[in-house]
Amino acid sequence: MFVNLFGEPLGAPMRYSRVAQLFSSLSSRAGLGRPVTPHMLRHAAGSALMEAGGLDVTQALLGHASITSTQIYLHPTRERQRAAVDRVAALRTPTAGPSS
């Protein structure tokens, strides 16, 4: 939640539209190629939660009733993808047994 510190009513929660305007303004001032949105933060949080706790934990913390709603927020990193491929490859690689 963002608290309104810039206008009336002071101390009240900011409405989504005002937060979006603030992010857009800050994005422009920072010279970003496209505006950052509050929803982008939710996607980043979903990915970080997934990495730290798994899909079920992420679902609970994001407040989704359906796991399919949670899945759209997940953006695995290239490192996690590579690690998954390496783990599967290790399972398929025969291990050297005792010499006969």
The count of other CB atoms within 10 Å of the CB of residue 49 is 20
Which residue positions in the chain have pLDDT lower than 50? Answer: none
| pLDDT for res 50 | 85
Task: Decide: pTM greater than 0.85.
Answer: no
User: What confidence tens digit (pLDDT) does each residue in 89-100 have?
Assistant: 998 877 655 655
- Tokens representing 27 are 């994005």
DSSP 13: B
| pLDDT for res 68 | 93
| pLDDT for res 96 | 56
| pLDDT for res 97 | 55
| pLDDT for res 95 | 64
The candidate with the shortest Cα–Cα distance to 51, out of 85, 89, 84, 91, is 84
Asked if 55 contacts 67 with a C-beta cutoff of 8 angstroms, the reply is yes
